[in-house]
Amino acid sequence: MAGIYCGIHLKLTSPRTPCPDKPKLVLFDWTSHALTCFYSKKVDIPSEVLEGLWAYLDEILHSRKLHNVVSQGKPISLRLTLAQWSS
């Protein structure tokens, strides 16, 4: 999974992004957006859904593929608001 958030639209439309990674990018974008909206009080999310969103984000952040991207020195960035709420 391309754990790189910056430029998600470019990655989705890029012929270099493997097709299996594109739905994962969309899910990652939706997850981070949903969490950001919840913690900024824009939406109400049931606790079991919220737990699932955090579990999915945790799975992404601890994935082997993301570890490989980081170990290759490739840049990774998250929405600042998401990083603020998660700490």
41: in domain: yes
The pLDDT tens digits of the residues spanning 16-52 come to 888 888 888 888 888 988 988 898 889 999 999 999 9
Q: Tell me the whole-structure pTM to 2 decimals.
A: 0.69
Domain enclosing residue 49, as ranges: 8-86
Q: What percent of the chain has pLDDT over 70?
A: 79
Q: Does 81 or 5 have the greater pLDDT score?
A: 81
1 has pLDDT over 70:
no
58 has pLDDT over 70:
yes
For 16, 41, 47, 75, the CA distances from 25, given in Å and listed in that order, are 14, 24, 24, 16
2: in domain: no
3: in domain: no
1: in domain: no
CA pseudo-torsion sign 41, 45, 51, 56: negative
Q: Which residues contact 54 (CB under 8 A, 6 or more apart)?
A: 35
Question: What is the number of structural domains in the chain?
Answer: 1
79 has pLDDT over 70:
no
For 27, 38, 51, the CA distances from 44, given in Å and listed in that order, are 19, 6, 13
51: in domain: yes
